[in-house]
Amino acid sequence: MNINRIYDTIEAKVTKITGSRPNATERLVADLGCDSLDTLDIINQVEKELDVYIPNEVASEISSDTTLLDLAVLLTDKLNEK
C-alpha cells in the first residue's frame, strides 16, 4: 500500500474534521484536537476509500503525540504486513 495515498486520505479527513488543512507534523490530539472518535473516523475513512481492512487494535497504538505522518506510517506498515 502506498503511503502517499494513505496520507492524502488522512489529510482530507482531518481537514473535514478540523476545518483547516493540517501539516504532516501536527499531532492529531495535542495540536488538532481530535478525540478517539475522530481517530476511528479517520481510520474508517482510510478503509472505505482504499478498500482495505485495518484491525481495531491499531487505534490503541495512537497516542496524543501521534502526528499525521506517524499515523500514515503506522497504517501503511499494518497494511503491508499482509
Rounded Cα gap, residues 33 and 82, in angstroms? 32
Q: In which element (H, E) is residue 13 found? A: helix 3-18
How many domains does one find in the chain? 1
pLDDT tens per residue, range 29-53: 999 999 989 999 999 999 999 999 9
Q: Note the pTM of the prediction, 2 decimals.
A: 0.90
The domain of 20 spans 3-80
Greatest Cα pair distance, the chain, in angstroms, is 34
CATH number of 38's domain: 1.10.1200.10
DSSP state of 59: G
Provide the residue count of the chain.
82
What is d(CA 61, CA 48) in angstroms, rounded to the nearest whole number?
Answer: 20
**Mean pLDDT over all residues of the chain?**
92
State the pLDDT confidence band at 58, using cuts at 50, 70 and 90. Answer: confident
